[in-house]
Amino acid sequence: MSTNTVELHRVLKSTADRVYRAFVTPAAVAKWLPPHGFTCTVHEQDARVGGRYRMSFTNFTTGGSHSFGGEYLELEPGKRLVYTAEFNDPNLPGRMQTTVELRDVFCGVDIKVKQEGIPAAIPAEMCYLGWQESLLLLAQLVEPEIKE
């Protein structure tokens, strides 16, 4: 079975800690992870090594939905996350793995994302587009320095 891999790199005006929290906080994930035109429902998120998560993305135009979930393999606060994902759709078989590396730098946080094992039915370009949109939303969540 053929699969795709995508790799993205960004520097955001934020901190590694804040970005890490955006990956492990259900309300934050629902706000930034779904690409444009989709909403997200986080059904379960147990952010610990060996813990599982489950969520669904819903197309706002058509109402169609797809769900997926996986397991947290590595969680190093402010530095690294590794997690798996499997779609609940027999047409999208296989197990993906996403690795996120975070590093505080002079002007913010350096973020590297690598997603491997993407089902062949999903063109790599669609994954790049979706991740680019998600990372834009992530920046809008973690860059503001709002004092209460």
| 46 — pLDDT class (breaks 50, 70, 90) | very high
Q: Is the pLDDT assigned to residue 1 strictly greater than 70?
A: no
Contact predicate 35/129, CB 8 Å: yes
Choose the CATH number for 3-36+74-142 among 3.40.190.10, 3.30.530.20, 3.90.550.10, 3.20.20.80: 3.30.530.20
What is the distance between the alpha carbons of residues 126 and 57, in angstroms, rounded to a whole number?
Answer: 15
- The domain locations on the chain are 3-36+74-142
Q: What integer pLDDT is reported at residue 103 of this predicted model?
A: 98
Q: What integer pLDDT is reported at residue 129 of this predicted model?
A: 96
Lowest mean pLDDT among 72-76, 119-123, 136-140: 119-123
Nearest CA to 51 out of 19, 83, 25 is that of 83
Enumerate the H helices of the chain as residue ranges. 16-24, 26-32, 124-142
Q: What is the mean pLDDT of the chain?
A: 96
What is the distance between the alpha carbons of residues 52 and 54, in angstroms, rounded to a whole number?
Answer: 7
Q: What is the largest CA-CA distance in the chain?
A: 51
Q: What is the pTM of this model?
A: 0.94
Q: Is the pLDDT assigned to residue 59 strictly greater than 90?
A: yes
